[in-house]
Every structure is written in structure tokens, then in C-alpha cells.
């Protein structure tokens, strides 16, 4: 595992954007898994800048969002679909027919999840997964105790996740949907390359457990220790509880990178 610790959130976001852009330049028809939430906003803003100022071309890229709430009305401002168009897709040239987000209003969420998993396979699998992390170590909406063999399916959100996400629902936990459709752990682990972004002190415990703790379904993100190509992009606060790397670190401009 490679860990890049940036001095602050902006540098972290720019470093992560460089890796995403390098992937698109190397393989213009790359298939991405994409997160929502607070953490990737800086990454999306930087990718938009690269598109506008440097001509970064998304026209052949395919995207699959990691998750979507079940049951929010169409166009709801807290839906992940709204978020993705508002914060990213409307500002770059991703082809609309290459965007995939689970349909949270599907009549049969089980069937929707199975169709989604199948669509990922049909697209050739995920080349590059971008992840955030919950305070409890969730990735996607795979909460603690999720089986590592899980595929895309309907899930129930953990109480901690509902509380953390209330900030996107005017601070009201009762408005946060209880269920979502999420890629599974195996769906994510099948990605050829994974990066995970984390910012802020409230993520430092989960990050330490992810990198140094036992690989356990109690901390879903710990499974990433087993991924052959996984890089963590952290700001100083998220890296606050990390032990120094046994391999030392390589200094960079505003960042240091460590290999575990």
C-alpha cells in the first residue's frame, strides 16, 4: 500500500486529481468507480479545472457511482445523482450514456443491484476506483460486518453513517434514508487500481485501523491491505494517528509518500 500525506486538503485533492488525469491520458476509455460526500469535492473541482484549462478529455470515460440512497424523490438535492451532475458531470464532457448511478427509485432494488453489477462486468470491469471512507471504516456503503465477498446490493445504513450524513439533509437525521444500493466489497476489490481519499481528524482512527489494524469485516476498509494496487491520499489530520512507515518516506513538494 502506498500512502501519500499532503499538507492540507487542497494539496491532497490536487495530488489525487493528477493520478486520475494520468489514468485518463493513459487509457482514455477507463472505467471509474466514483464516490460522493464531502471529501471528493476538491478532487472534482480540480478535474473540472483540468478539463477547462488543460483540455482533459472525459468523452470516452465510463463512470459507475459507488452508491445511491433508496427512495429519495427524483431530482432530490441530497440524492447522489443530483450531487454528481451538480458537482461534476455538468462541468466536464463525460458522455451521458457512459454515466451509471444505481436507480434508488427502482421498483425492485435487488434486481437493480444485480443489473448494476452486470453492467460493470459488461463495461469490462472497473479500471480505477476512487473511494472515500466513513468514520467506521465503511467504503461505498459497506458498513462494518459486510462480507468481503459482497457484490452490489441493497443495504441498511449504520446509525453512525445516518448521523454523519445528516449534514446533507439540513442536519436532520430523520430525513436521511435508511437504505441505499451500494457496490459490494468484492465489486470494489475487483477494480484494477484503487485510491482512497480521507481528510480531517474524524477520519484518523479509521485510517489507522485500515492501514495498521487486522484485516477484518468489522473495519471494511481494512480489506484494502489485500489489494495489489491501492494508494491512500490523506491530509495531515487524517494521517494523525498513523505510525511512521517501516520503509521511511519519500519527501515531495507539500506531500510525503510512504510505503507499507
Grid coordinates representing 46 are 480540480
222 binds ligand F6R, rule: CB under 6 A: no
Which positions are catalytic? Answer: 67, 136, 138, 143
177 binds ligand F6R, rule: CB under 6 A: no
Tracing cell 441505499 back to the chain, one arrives at 180
Q: Which stretch binds ligand F6R (CB under 6 A): 48-56, 133-141, 184-192, 240-248?
A: 133-141
**Is the Cβ of residue 80 or residue 245 nearer to ligand F6R in the bound state?**
80
Nearest residue (beta carbon) to ligand F6R: 132
210 binds ligand F6R, rule: CB under 6 A: no
184 binds ligand F6R, rule: CB under 6 A: no
The single residue among 6, 139, 223, 242 that binds ligand F6R, judged by CB under 6 A, is: 139
The single residue among 67, 112, 127, 143 that binds ligand F6R, judged by CB under 6 A, is: 67
Using an 8 Å Cβ cutoff, are 102 and 112 in contact?
yes
The single residue among 13, 30, 39, 255 that binds ligand F6R, judged by CB under 6 A, is: 39
Residue of 52, 56, 60 lying closest to 20 (CA atoms): 56
The single residue among 1, 6, 15, 36 that binds ligand F6R, judged by CB under 6 A, is: 36
Q: Any long-range contacts for 90-95 (C-beta under 8 Å, 24+ apart)?
A: 91/48, 91/51, 91/52, 92/47, 92/48, 92/51, 92/56, 92/58, 93/51, 93/57, 93/58, 93/59, 94/58, 94/59, 94/61, 94/63, 95/58, 95/59, 95/60, 95/61
**Is the Cβ of residue 67 or residue 117 nearer to ligand F6R in the bound state?**
67
The answer for residues whose C-beta is within 8 angstroms of residue 194's C-beta and 6 or more apart is 128, 129, 131, 188, 224, 227, 229, 230, 231
Residues that bind ligand F6R (CB under 6 A): 35-39, 66-67, 132-134, 138-140
Amino acid at each position: 500500500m502506498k500512502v501519500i500525506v499532503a499538507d492540507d486538503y487542497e494539496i491532497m485533492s490536487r495530488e489525487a486529481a493528477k493520478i486520475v488525469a494520468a489514468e485518463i491520458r493513459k487509457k482514455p476509455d477507463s472505467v471509474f468507480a466514483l464516490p460522493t460526500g464531502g471529501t471528493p469535492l476538491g478532487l472534482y473541482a480540480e478535474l473540472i479545472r483540468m478539463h477547462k484549462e488543460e483540455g482533459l478529455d472525459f468523452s470516452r470515460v465510463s463512470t459507475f457511482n459507488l452508491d445511491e440512497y433508496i427512495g429519495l424523490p427524483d431530482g432530490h438535492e441530497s440524492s447522489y445523482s443530483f450531487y454528481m451532475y451538480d458537482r461534476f458531470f455538468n462541468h466536464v464532457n463525460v458522455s451521458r450514456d457512459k454515466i451509471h448511478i444505481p436507480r434508488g427509485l427502482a421498483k425492485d432494488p435487488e434486481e437493480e443491484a444485480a443489473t448494476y453489477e452486470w453492467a460493470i462486468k459488461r463495461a469490462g470491469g472497473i479500471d480505477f476506483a476512487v473511494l472515500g471512507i466513513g468514520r467506521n471504516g465503511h467504503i461505498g456503503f459497506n458498513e462494518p460486518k459486510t462480507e468481503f465477498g459482497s457484490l452490489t446490493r441493497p443495504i441498511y445504513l449504520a446509525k453512525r453513517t445516518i448521523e454523519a450524513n445528516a449534514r446533507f439533509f439540513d442536519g436532520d437525521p430523520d430525513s436521511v434514508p435508511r437504505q441505499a444500493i451500494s457496490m459490494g466489497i468484492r465489486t470494489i476489490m475487483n477494480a484494477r487500481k484503487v485510491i482512497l481519499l480521507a481528510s480531517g481528524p474524524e477520519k484518523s482512527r479509521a485510517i489507522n485501523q485500515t492501514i495498521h489494524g487486522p484485516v477484518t469485516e468489522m473495519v471494511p476498509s481494512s480489506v484494502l491491505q489485500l489489494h495489489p494496487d491501492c494508494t491512500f491520499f490523506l491530509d495531515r489530520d487524517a494521517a494523525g494517528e498513523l505510525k511512521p512507515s517501516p520503509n521511511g518516506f519519500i519527501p515531495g513538494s507539500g506531500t510525503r509518500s510512504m510505503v507499507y
